[in-house]
Amino acid sequence: MRGQIAIAALLLTTSAASGGARRYARVGEMQGAPEVQVHTADPWRAGERNLPLIESSRIQSGPQDRIEVELDDGSFLRLAGDALAELSDYTQLSTGQRVTLLSIDHGVAYFSGEPRPHDTLSLALPGAQITLRQGSRIRLAAYEQSSNLAVLEGSVKFTTPSLEMELRAGQFIQVYAGASDRFTLLREIPKMEADEWSEGRDKSGAGYGQADLERSGGWISTPELGMVWKPRTDANWRPFRDGRWEWYDEAGYTWVARESWGWLPYHFGRWMQDSTLGWVWSPDRRPNPVYKPGDVYWLRGTGRIAWGPLAPSEIWTGAGRSQLYAPANSTMAPFLAGVKVIDPAKLDEKLAANPGEALEGMTFAVAPISPALAAERFEAQRRELRTAETPAPLVTSAEPRVEQAAYNEQPAPSAPQPQQAPPPLQAELAAPVDYGDGAAPLETYIPVPVYTGIVVVDPPLWDEHNGKMGNPAAGSTASGKPPSGSVEPPRHEGPIKVPDPPKPPRSTRKDSVDGPSGGN
């Protein structure tokens, strides 16, 4: 329990890190062969646990794949099946406020999270945007002709060019491509195959690597360092050995660990070799801890490079002997100036078998020689997401507030247009719910022209006499419930509020007939 408190405190203070600090997400659990594209100019590559992701990174999964991304605020993004997502806005302002916008181009995605005070947390679908104001779990799906949202827990604000509404747990909404004034609303959420997987992941523990520590080691109280974490490893284990360094323009050479728990211990604290306990990790307890690519000492030699862990509070300048330096604590790899991956697995077997001899003649250095910045970084282009036209979120407080409805913000037409009678508001019982692009039972049409008021529409009662939706027949009892053995139609917790359509112009001709407006 004390260890959990220590990590929770670490994440809380990390959220208030120094202004403008870069944010890093982590690739977590995976099934199948999902892929990631860290930078715009990078090729797609196989997803890998503990791989850091930054703003503009993209994640895609195939039909049989599943992948989980853990954000630095403790939230989760998961893709199931054929899907593509992007960390479109993943920044931290100079005030410490975090702005997060995740875009779902196509496929099924799940999100679980809670915005901290003054942070902004939003997700975009083609034609819609979702904003979280409290802890919530949602499911999103984007198809060629429609997008939908299911609120599994909590509540969110749902916005389209013609609609803004609050959705609560148990509600499902679907919008349609090219028809911003049309949506489908249900009180029941259609089940999907991946629902159970995502729910199980939510129950597995806290995010951003916290749950891994509880499963893979234990917390110990020490007089010198306070609470430290000790992994369950063999006696010959050393930190910064099982993994590799990858070059990030934003952070330099960054350690990508192969240990399942290798996120927090390598990026938010330092290791210490205790005479009694062995290797233990001490979390960074400064007021504003920030992500580190990996705190190590470096040694350079001809055609090779070596490194080892820095001790807590040690200030490394590259001059003199590091506090924890020893041949047994050092890991070596081949190195040529300009390489973007430093992998100890590629070291010659003879050198690997004699680390003490191999380290002779090497000199301490602050860091390896950095590779040149590639020109393609400035020229790279990638396919635009279908969510590109979705409005970006405003930087606002996460606390609830009264806002003007989106349809009152629509600009007036540039020139007067002849008015036509809009289609009547429709609420009808249709076919069973389609799990993909099909229509759901309750369809509501909202015309786009200038709105002047609010109409409250109550759902029709169930007519037990006729066995259908509508006004009860004479002499029947309108209980509002379907007869025994039939399927209860969707009901609403309250009336649906939609804009009042404009009235058609009066005509002096009795044979005048206006067609439907808006092309519906």
Average pLDDT over residues 427-455: 38
Query: What pLDDT score was predicted for residue 511?
Result: 41
Task: Give rounded-to-5 percent helix, strand, coil for the chain.
Answer: 10, 35, 55
Map out the domains of the chain as residue ranges.
Answer: 21-202, 210-372
65 vs 285: which has the higher pLDDT: 65
Closest residue by Cα to residue 241 from 265, 225, 210: 265
Inform me whether the pLDDT recorded for 296 exceeds 80. Answer: yes
Query: What pLDDT score was predicted for residue 444?
Result: 41
Whether the CA torsion 119, 123, 128, 131 is positive or negative: it is negative
Domain 21-202 class, CATH top level:
mainly beta
| CA gap 356, 351 in Å, rounded | 9
In three-state secondary structure terms, 195 is helix
Structure tokens at 379: 């020229």
In tens, the pLDDT along 134-185 reads 999 999 999 999 999 999 999 999 999 888 999 999 999 999 988 877 899 9
In tens, the pLDDT along 238-291 reads 999 999 999 999 999 999 999 999 999 999 999 999 989 999 999 988 777 789
One-letter amino acid at 159 equals: T
Taking the model in full, what pTM does it have? 0.73
Query: What pLDDT score was predicted for residue 518?
Result: 40
Closest residue by Cα to residue 195 from 127, 110, 301, 85: 110
Q: Assign 489 a pLDDT band (cuts: 50, 70, 90).
A: very low
Tell me the sheet residues that pair with 131: 122, 157
For residue 156, CA distances in Å to 115, 137, 251, 259 come to: 11, 9, 35, 36
Q: If you average pLDDT over every residue of the chain, what do you get?
A: 77
